Structure 1
Amino acid sequence: MRDLPGLTGALYVFAEWIMRFSTANILWIIVNLPLLFVLLSVYINGFGPGFVVYLLPLVLLIPAVTVPSTVALFATAREWILQKDQSSITKTYFFHMKANYRKNFLAGLALLALWLVWLVDIYFFKQSNDFMALLFTLIGLGLFVYTLNFFSLCVHYRMKTRTLLKNAFFITLGNPLLSLFILVSNMSLFYVSATRLYFLIPLFTVSISAYLSFLAFYRFSLKMQKKAESSI
């Protein structure tokens, strides 16, 4: 049916992509409902003394659920970009979530450690030093791009976790245009979702973020591959 001519074919392709993004997005949200519930509780109650109660669930859920489920989302989006056939988005998603689960869990611990160090630093400097607070805000944006690049590397190449973490750093720092595109596109998407088009959050935001991030990374990797081949 993809070969239907004219407007009918275009509408079919449009509907197919809507279904892809919405299904993958809903699956990610369902898997991460426990984490979202904890984050909502933190938002409602604030970062008071009771925050410690929520810290342990966050420490457990992020590497055990959020990182593997996000890797699965990136792997699913990768197959769309590479035009691989998928008999079922749900089956594809959970297949990728179960594949290399232990490796993704360990990677989640490493990413969690980085984010916790950043969170403690910015919380401390936010109250004492405006310049350092601004600096760590910028570092946080870089860490966000670094995390997305790590997910793209994780689903596209077979490497050890330490190598993935190292290469994600070099790609993020060494390719400012790629990092800027990933940052601006994702921040724009999140801003519009949170302030204007609220329906994007349950249906499209996370899956579109994964798609745009991997697409940018994939085009960069193709460019680097062509450059390497031409230099031989």
Structure 2
Amino acid sequence: MQLNGLTGIIYKIGIWTIRLFYTNLLWIVFTLLGLGVFGFMPATVSLFAVLRQWIIKKDDFPIFKSFLYYYRKEFIKSNLFGLLFLVVGFIIRVDIIFLKESSTLFLQILSGVMLCIGILFFIILLYFFPVYVHFNISFVQHIKYAFIIGVSQVASTIMMMLGLAIVFSLYWYISGLIPLFFMSLFCLNLMWFGYRSFVKIEYLQQQA
């Protein structure tokens, strides 16, 4: 049955609300199953993979089984990425803090360089999960693709950041939403604009 107009909009909002609540619950459960530290990355990858299915209009699939499948499949690889990001992020943060305290001109300039590197690292993090679940590529290429797409698709990157700010503000003023949609709404924002970037790039490649 095809619903149009206001009824169709309300129906879609209801469907997405249920989806986000359920996948957020799965994310919490599977993160805890991995004792938090080891469960965060595979659970997040699984969440992005399920959200991607819905965004590309693929609705007829078992949600729990799909979540479990990606969790098992990507457990080790995703945790390796998590360790890499943790180490690199720690190094960048320590360097920025150290260099900001310096009074010499050279180190002040170096502090600005490290700040730029930190921004690029943040952009890679924004696109990493959408790239991870969308492209079947090698370990290193995940980082490469996330970087190239992030800096080339400026509009989508800005929209991702604005979306994160809006979601964070929503949680700030309506804290009751946090246990219901905390991770799923953040991830939906990133996957939605990430997928739009992929489609745009594929279209431009076909036109070239």
Q: TM-score, normalised by structure 2?
A: 0.82
Q: What does 1:83-162 correspond to in 2, within 5 Å? A: 83-125=57-99, 140-162=118-140
| In structure 2, C-alpha distance between the alignment counterparts of 1:201 and 1:138, rounded to whole Å | 31
| In structure 2, C-alpha distance between the alignment counterparts of 1:140 and 1:189, rounded to whole Å | 22
CA deviation map 1:38-94 (0-9, x unaligned): xxxxxxxxxxxxxxxxxxxxxxx1xx2211111111111101101213444333222
Does 2:176 align with 1:176? no
| In structure 1, C-alpha distance between the alignment counterparts of 2:152 and 2:59, rounded to whole Å | 34
Deviation, 1:9, is 5.3
Residue identity opposite 1:175 in structure 2: Q
| In structure 1, C-alpha distance between the alignment counterparts of 2:24 and 2:31, rounded to whole Å | 11
Identity of aligned residues (%): 29
RMSD of aligned residue pairs (Cα, Å) = 2.7
| In structure 1, C-alpha distance between the alignment counterparts of 2:69 and 2:39, rounded to whole Å | 14
* Residues 7, 204 of structure 1: alpha-carbon distance in 2 compared, 3 angstrom cutoff: same
CA deviation map 1:8-57 (0-9, x unaligned): 6554433221110011112222333554xxxxxxxxxxxxxxxxxxxxxx
Q: Secondary structure at the match of 1:83?
A: coil
1:20/1:89 contact within 8 Å kept: no
2:153/2:197 contact within 8 Å kept: no
* Residues 106, 127 of structure 1: alpha-carbon distance in 2 compared, 3 angstrom cutoff: same
Report how many residues are paired. Answer: 202
Does 2:49 align with 1:72? no
| In structure 1, C-alpha distance between the alignment counterparts of 2:5 and 2:159, rounded to whole Å | 33
Does 2:178 align with 1:212? no
Does 2:200 align with 1:226? no
| In structure 2, C-alpha distance between the alignment counterparts of 1:24 and 1:218, rounded to whole Å | 19
| In structure 1, C-alpha distance between the alignment counterparts of 2:30 and 2:164, rounded to whole Å | 21
Uncovered stretches (5+) of structure 2, i.e. residues with no partner: none
Residue identity opposite 2:179 in structure 1: P
2:149/2:197 contact within 8 Å kept: no
* Residues 102, 133 of structure 1: alpha-carbon distance in 2 compared, 3 angstrom cutoff: same
* Residues 125, 189 of structure 1: alpha-carbon distance in 2 compared, 3 angstrom cutoff: farther
Name 1:51's counterpart in structure 2. Answer: none
| In structure 1, C-alpha distance between the alignment counterparts of 2:121 and 2:182, rounded to whole Å | 19
Q: TM-score, normalised by structure 1?
A: 0.74
Name 1:32's counterpart in structure 2. Answer: 31
CA deviation map 1:88-119 (0-9, x unaligned): 43332222211232222222222222222123
Uncovered stretches (5+) of structure 1, i.e. residues with no partner: 36-60
